[in-house]
Every structure is written in structure tokens, then in C-alpha cells.
Amino acid sequence: MSAKPNEMPIGLRWLTGIAALGAAFLAMDSLRLFSERPLLDFIITVQNHYYYALMGLLLPLCYLLNPTLKNPKSIWIDSVLAIAACGACIFFFVNAETMLDFGWEFAAPDHAVYTSYLLWILILEAVRRSGGMVLFGLVLVFSLYPIFAESLPGPISGMTSTPAETAAYHVMSIESILGLPFRAFAQLVIGFLIFGIALQQTGGGRFFINLAFAIFGHVRGGSAKVAIVSSGLMGSMSGSVITNVLTTGQMTIPAMQDNGMEKEYAAGVESCASTGGVLLPPIMGSTAFVMATFLNVPYTTVALAAGIPAMLYFFGLFVQVDAYAARKGLEGTPRDQLPSLAGTMKEGWFYIAAFMVLIFLLVYLQREAVAPFIATGLLLVLNQFSTDHRWNIKQVGSFLVATGRLLMELLTIMAGVGLIVGALSVTGLSGTLVNDLLYLAGDSTLLLLLMGAFSSFLLGIGMTVTAAYVFLAIVLAPALIQGGLEPMSVHLFILYWGMLSFITPPVALGAFAAASIAGSSALATGFTAMRLGSIIYFIPFFFVLEPAIILSGTWFETLFATVKVAIGIVLIASCLQSYLIGVGFLDRSGLIGIVGRILIAIGGGLIALPATDVININVGQVTLLLSGTIAAVAGILISRGNDGEIESSAATSES
């Protein structure tokens, strides 16, 4: 377990801060942020120079920040590993141009092969320390796979390489450790990670919570709606569900409990909002940048495509929370106990300014690589004019340490995932698996989608979201695309289903983290979160079958599809909460009431369901809308009944 920043020895804090500064400088220089001609021109001439330099700065931190043993006397073991990692990276940095000129990834001299073995082993150990045993096990097996690929059964056999060839390919080619995930990290992700850390360290989390309270705190269920907005915004910045739950959740979960919500419900709302934050533009976490690199499109294209699905998910959360508050008779917080909107904006206007600059550079100027660095610089300068949040030297140090730690963790995981990519590439297994999946599914695109959903969820349990996404983007996405689905929707589909493990028992790491704050049952919180976030299980199927939802269509098609899904979400949420906005309670007792609510959910699903011709089910859009409307209306009439009217009027008089 890594030491907390304040518990670090002063020397290690300095080392981490210097490494963070060096990594940020290299990233900015590689983007020519300082001038048209990079200051370190010899590094940027051969791109591999930059990659090995970045690895040499950050990889050694993994062994020092995640020590082998808790005993301080064992520091020499970690120091030796750190020095070895730095030395190996320096070797490849010095020889980067020679490697390209003489094709060392296919025929390397002995000393280069031995150094490749060393760096391969060191990266595996770094993955174990940063990513956990499950990811380490997968990376270990896959990275060794090319050595014995021919001896495996037919469907998973491939071209065999010698151990020396495998080591050289992993370390010196641009298809493995330095493959697509690592290059996306080095070229795009670093700036956005730094922006997210700067936002948190300057008090952005508190600002977004106060802003949400000023806007939504007075409405019914206001504290939960505040949690949805603030955690969604901060989750988009941090890109980490667990980190977001443990930071914003410390403030939002007690506020919801004070508002009269059960412990499990408060924790479930926070975990669902934090999970959705990673799917919310403009930042979305590191996986979206890897996706942009996979699809060979600008990051803004991914962010725009993800916008409507993310908003539909948060709309579903809002509807459920509102219905829950209405059913429980929960009122909002009096306005005089809430922060004022004007006062909040006056104190934190520079966060909005930095945000606007970021979006302007991303969307209008299409400068996605440099945008976060400029926005971070503006935020840090403006922050110094704030009397409440102005940094001193100690806070600057904390910012650099947090930056170094996060960059190290992500670099390690990206390098480890690259080993999986390299193994699939050098053996040809990726193409074989695609053909096998197509053969298993036959002509059924629906079966392929269900297989994809299950695979994404299963891998999301044991791996980081990025690792699971990269693996399936290579193995599964091509099969779905060959099955007739749109590439962007397929990749977003994989991302969404990979995120579901955070709110779905038995794992539900996001829900379990929130339960630890709320003091609730972890399993009960997981099932509550699963029910609250149930819309997220359907949305991926909606946009993969109707690409207009991700802006792959005319404006009319996009608007029509979005409105349909929104209506379906309202009906499905009303079934889950036994309350429909504008109608009232749908809680008639007995079998008749249950049947009525099921009819409402079926009606909502049919209304939201896109055209089904993609999955070879020929049901027209008009038929779906009419049958869904009839089912929903019948369900509402049945669910209300006399019991519902009596209970509704009684609840109204009580509130």
C-alpha cells in the first residue's frame, strides 16, 4: 500500500515533485507549447526518445511510492528496482535512433535483449504494485503467450516467438509497451490529468458542490440532486470512480442523510453519480483519449458523441431521485441555509473561466493536446488572486506530489496493457479471435452485442476500465463493426459496460466505497446503486442500435431519438420508484399493481427502443411507439386504481 503524501519522507516528496515537473515539461515541449522549435529538439526528433524519457522519470516512482514491505529498512530493495528501471530506460533512450535504423525489435544485439528482459520484468512488477494481482496475472500470461502460442488449442493458437524475440518486440517496438495505450497517455492524457488535479487542489470540488447546492438545494430531494451534479462534474475531471466517491462523497453523503434519506440510498446515489462522471464530457477520464486514438479521430469527436448518452443517464438519475423524494415526502433545504448563487460565483468564477477556456480550445480551435495545459496555467494564475484558495509553497508541493503519483500509476497501467496488445499483435491472435466470435454468433448481431456486454462487464470486474476497454477494442470491437454496427457506438458500448462493474454486485467497488462513508451495508448499497443506475444498462443498447443518439445522423433524427429515450427513461424510472411525475403514486397493492408497473416498464422500453432492423428483427418504429404507449397507459391506469388515489391524497395531505 502506498504512503500518503503527508507521510512521505521529504526526500521522496522532492523526487516525486521533480519527476512530475519533468514529465509535464516533456509533454508540453513535445507539443511545441513553448515555441515552434522544441527546446529539447533531440528528444522530439525521434518520438521514442520522448517515450523512454517519460518512462525513465515516472516508472522508478512506482517502486518507491508502493514499497515492497512496510518495514522502512526494506527501502534498499525498492531503491535498487528504481535505479534499475531508470538505467534501462536511459539505455533505450540513448539507443532509440539506432533501434529504429537497424530494426532492433526484430534482430537486436545480445546486450539490448538482456536489457529488454530487465525492463519487461520491472514493468510486470510495477503493474503488480499499481494495478493489483488480477491485472498483473492477466498481463503476465498474455505477455508470455507469444513464447508458447503454437502449442495451445486451435482457437487460441498463434505464431510463436523465441523468448529473446518476444522481449525485444515488447520493449523496442511501438506495438507493445510503447503501443497505442502508452502513446495516447504520452500525447493526450497527461495535460488533462494535470488539469483535474489542479482543479481539485485549488478547491474546485467544494466550488462545484456549493454551486449545485445554490441551484438545486431548495428543491425536493435537493441534496441528492446536488450529489448528482457535483459528483458528475468532478468525476469527469478526475476520471476515477473510487477517488471521486471518497472525495465528494465525504460531503454529499452526510448531506443526503441529513435530508432524510436512508444510508444505502445516499451511498447508492453518490456511487451512481461518480460512475456516470467518468462518462461525462468534456474530460471523461483517460479511456476516452485511448478511444480517440483507436478510432483515429479527434478527442472532441468522442466527447461530442458521448454527450447525449451521458446526459440521458444523469436525467434518469434525476427522475429517480425526484420520484423517491416525492414518494418519501422529502423537502429541500430552506434557501436561507444554502449558499447564494451570486456569492458562490463571485468566490469561484475563475473555475468557470478555466472551464470555458478549455472547452473553447477543445471544440472551437480543435487544440485538444495543448488545451488542458493552457487551461491549467490560467487556473493556477487566477487562483493566486483568490484570498481563500491562494497556494503557499507547501500546497505547491502537494500538487506536484499528487501529479507525480497519478502520472506514475497511469503510465504503469498503460505500459502493462501495452504488453497485452503486443502479444495479441505479434501472434496474430486478435484477428483469429475476431473470426471465431463471428463464427460463434452466426448472423446474429444481437448475440454479438450480448456477448460484448457480458465480456466487458466481466473484464471490468478484474481490470481497470482502460485495460478492459483496450483488450476488447482489439478483440471484440472489430467483430461488432463487421456485424454492421457503427464504430463509435461500438467503442462507447464497450466503455459503458466496462463501467457497470462499479455499481453492480458482487463487486460494485464504487458502491462499496460509498458504503464505507455512509456506514451502510456494502451489499445492500450495491443493489440500491444497481437499481438507481438501471438506466445505464439500457442506454448502450439504445445508442448502438440508433447511432443518431451519438450524433451520427441528422439533427431531426438525433432529436427524435433522444426524446423517445427520455420518455422511456421517465416511464422505467416511475416503475422502479412507484411514482410518475405529473400523475402521482403508482403503488397499488397486490398482483394487479405489480402487473401494472411491469406494463409501464415494458411500455417505456418499447418507446425508447430504436429501429430493430440492425438485429434482424423487423418491427417498425410506429409499431413500437404505439404498442409502447398502449402498454404504458394501461399500466398507469392499473397501477393507480383506488388504492393509489387514496394513498396519494393521504401522502399529499401529510406533506
C-alpha of 13 from chain center: 28
Q: How far apart are CA 605 and CA 607, in angstroms?
A: 6
Does residue 561 lie in a domain region? yes
Question: Does residue 482 lie in a domain region?
Answer: no
Q: How far apart are alpha carbons 60 and 53 in whole angstroms?
A: 12
Residues 123 and 195 occupy one common structural domain = no
Q: Which three cell numbers stand for residue 646?
A: 387514496
Rounded CA gap, 528 and 266, in Å?
Answer: 9
Cell of 348: 469561484
536-568 confidence digits (pLDDT tens)? 888 998 888 888 999 988 899 999 999 999 999
State residue 649's pLDDT score: 39
Residue 237's pLDDT is 75
For cell 463471428, what's the residue? 438
**Short-list 543, 527, 540, 522, CA closest to 576:** 527
CA distance 107 to 116: 12
All residue ranges of the chain with pLDDT < 50 are 1-2, 643-655
Please, are residues 400 and 8 in contact by the beta-carbon 8 Å criterion? no
- Domain end among 156, 181, 206: 181
Sign of the Cα pseudo-torsion (133, 137, 138, 144, in order): positive
The residues pairing with 580 across neighbouring beta strands, listed in sequence order, are 584
Residues 192 and 161 grouped into a single domain? no
The 8-class DSSP code of residue 618 comes to: -
Q: How far are the Cα atoms of 118, 135, 265, 399, 401 from residue 393, in angstroms, in the given order?
A: 38, 37, 41, 10, 12
**pLDDT at residue 462, rounded to an integer:** 66
Phi, psi (degrees; rounded to nearest 5) at 120:
-60, -50
Q: What is the pTM of this model?
A: 0.84
271 and 175 inside one domain? no
Could you give the CA distance from residue 409 to residue 172 in angstroms, rounded to a whole number?
Answer: 22
At residue 367, the pLDDT reads: 83
Rounded alpha-carbon distances, angstroms, from residue 655 to 256, 265, 401, 585? 19, 21, 51, 14
Say how many domains are in the chain: 3
Q: Which domain holds residue 272?
A: 186-407
Does one domain contain both 63 and 114? yes
Domain boundary among 407, 428, 443: 407
Instruction: Let me know if residue 426 belongs to a domain.
Output: no
pLDDT in tens, 333-352: 888 888 888 888 888 888 88
Mean pLDDT of the chain: 85
Nearest-angstrom CA–CA distance, 195 and 540: 29
